[in-house]
Structure 1
Amino acid sequence: MRYRLKPKRALGSELRSLYRSLNENLALALLMACREPERGVHLARRGCKELRALIRLLGGGAANQRFYRSLAAGLSAERDTAVMPATWQMLQANMPLLQSKAFHPVGHWLAELAETPAALDGRDAMFLGLAQEAEARCHREPEFEIPEGIAALELRVAWVYRRARRAQLMARKTGVADDFHRFRRRSKDLYYSLRFLKPLMSAPGRRLVGQLKALTELQGLANDVAVLDEYLAANADRLKLTQVSWNRLRRALIMGEQQLQAEVYERAGPILAAGPAQFVRTLKLSG
């Protein structure tokens, strides 16, 4: 279980305990992946994102994140394969066009792909080795300076918020997929950062955590549609669709992604409207 920060205690010590507990959870998730690959991989990828968000919040650089970034990237293919059938079903439920018999081969192929066992040779040994590395990090001091007071921590929160706010403005301005992806990552950093600090917040701050959770989940759906679109395009020859059906499918996927992105921007506007200083004041962090 993730360590919960306790008000009135030494902030630096509390943040170190949180860092250790996240590494412990990551090690347990990797061990779980040996028995329950889908759930274990999901929890391990989330653990990597949480740790990278915490390291950014506390002022660590890219070098401090290298292990977690590499680990998450190595697990992404398994996660995408498991999620794509659910993404397709979500699109079908919201787009009657995709319920046509012409698109049944897509659903069948994705389901078969998810049910195909991954290569097992050496995988358990890999998960075990990574779990041991994560567990070893529980016993090391973080290789970056930990904020020791609320004022220093507030400066770090303002920095995380500013990055998310700028990424939103850039993504809305350009409409470029990479910019939306950056906005999604930085929103998740902000969400995890505030969730860590929730015990130190006022009621308005705690409500923001819930709003950010809903926002990042919606961003995740938009990303899942983009991943599905890219994957189907790379494997178009296996689907055996007519050119007419293929064109209709691509238009539907693009429309689905655009609709989700529009909803993301609508929700993000009020959350990211304030300047960094005002946003931090809203949280009313207390040590």
Structure 2
Amino acid sequence: MSFRIDPRAPLTVEVRRIAHEELDKIAAYLDAARDDPDKALHKARRRLKNLRALLHLVRPGAEAFCRGENDRYRDIARSIAGPRQASALIETVDRLADDFPEEAKAAGLGAIRLSLVRHRAETTYGEAGLAATLDAALSECTVGRIALETLTLPDSPEAAADVLAEGALGTLRRARRGLEQARERGEAEDFHELRKAVKTHGAHLSLLRKLWPSPVKPRRERIDMLGESLGELHDIFVMRALIEAHEAPFDEAPEQKSLMKVMKRSEKVLRKLCLTSAEDLFEEKPRRVARRLAHKARDGLAEAAADGKAEPSTGK
């Protein structure tokens, strides 16, 4: 099947189906992580974000359930985050070397990269620790599967459309707030909040592909590009914080002034790019978008329901 709500099926059935499919993929990646933790855990975390985005979308129809299950999958994602952060630091150094080759050489990024690779090898879960973490995550996924059978959402076309519109509206408002804070204060956490909202909105575009009131593909492509840029900026913020706090793997590193200078240049470019892109994508008022979504969703869900009840043709 697909990560997309089919208007021909009741909303409860569709949400359960999509959630079960995402849990299947998450479990497969967690199992694969026993042999290749870096790549497999990264993929598992991406699927966990998809699952949480689904819960955010339908939360207006089952507030307590979605809040509790969102917390479950957030905690799983945090438990497997260690190796991914170590890899993100290495990827950040590689981007800086590509974008600013002369400055990167002066900053000694080659030596810093080797240090980061050693750090990743040392801090990635040991065999026993990784196995225990994966077993716990898989156990929680099993509990989540069982919990899904208790989920009940409004299934009438009108009520289901309202749930989807309100869920999408919440994320659009969150993105607007994140943009305003990033523009006005510009703190790392402001851009991080914007990034999370953008990622969730991107997942909602996929889920609502058949119901979104405007062409989805071009908007999704732009959202993905913004998400990538915000991710790169987030990695810069994380590395800068580690350097300033003298935390591993930078606690015993030599003078980092040259590295900080390169990072500052990259940060300036990324800040401007992210703000410009976000302003363009979220310039329309969220409530106006939600009204159009609700209207199209009602029509689409009602039409699908009517088609499902129609008598099959006898050919006479």
Structure 1 residues 101 and 12, CA gap change in structure 2 (3 angstroms): closer
Counterpart Cα distance in 2 of 1:261 and 1:247 = 21
Counterpart Cα distance in 2 of 1:64 and 1:32 = 24
- Check whether the contact 1:64–1:143 (CA below 8 A) recurs between aligned residues: no
- Check whether the contact 1:6–1:200 (CA below 8 A) recurs between aligned residues: no
Superposed displacement of residue 42, structure 1: 0.5
Match in the other structure for 1:188 = 199
Q: Give the counterpart letter for 2:162 in structure 1.
A: A
Match in the other structure for 1:161 = 172
Pairwise CA RMSD of aligned residues? Answer: 2.4
Match in the other structure for 1:12 = 12
Among 209, 218, 238, the alignment partner of 1:207 is 218
TM-score (norm 2): 0.81
Counterpart Cα distance in 2 of 1:101 and 1:166 = 37
> What is the aligned length?
283
Match in the other structure for 2:72 = 67
When structure 1 is superposed on structure 2, of 215-224 and 59-68 the one drifting more is 59-68
- Check whether the contact 1:27–1:132 (CA below 8 A) recurs between aligned residues: no
Deviations 1:78-117 (A, max 9, x none): 1011221121011111112112264442122123223446
Higher alpha-carbon Rg: 2
Pairing of 1:29-108 with structure 2 (within 5 A): 29-59=29-59, 60=63, 62-95=67-100, 96-100=102-106, 102-108=108-114
Match in the other structure for 2:313 = none
Superposed displacement of residue 174, structure 1: 0.9
Superposed displacement of residue 143, structure 1: 6.0
Deviations 1:190-214 (A, max 9, x none): 1112222224346613322222111
When structure 1 is superposed on structure 2, of 97-106 and 261-270 the one drifting more is 97-106
Among 115, 120, 141, the alignment partner of 1:114 is 120
Counterpart Cα distance in 2 of 1:13 and 1:262 = 43
Among 226, 230, 240, the alignment partner of 2:254 is 240
Structure 1 residues 268 and 143, CA gap change in structure 2 (3 angstroms): farther
Deviations 1:111-170 (A, max 9, x none): 322344641124223313321321342233366653432233112212221111121112
Percent of residue pairs bearing the same amino acid type: 23
Match in the other structure for 2:262 = 252
Superposed displacement of residue 10, structure 1: 2.1
When structure 1 is superposed on structure 2, of 154-163 and 97-106 the one drifting more is 97-106
Q: Give the counterpart letter for 1:123 in structure 2.
A: L
Superposed displacement of residue 273, structure 1: 0.6
Where does structure 2 lack aligned partners over 5 or more consecutive residues? Answer: 302-316
Counterpart Cα distance in 1 of 2:4 and 2:282 = 26
Where does structure 1 lack aligned partners over 5 or more consecutive residues? Answer: none
Counterpart Cα distance in 1 of 2:231 and 2:290 = 25
Match in the other structure for 2:146 = 139
Please give the secondary structure, in 1, of the residue aligned with 2:128. Answer: coil
When structure 1 is superposed on structure 2, of 99-108 and 257-266 the one drifting more is 99-108
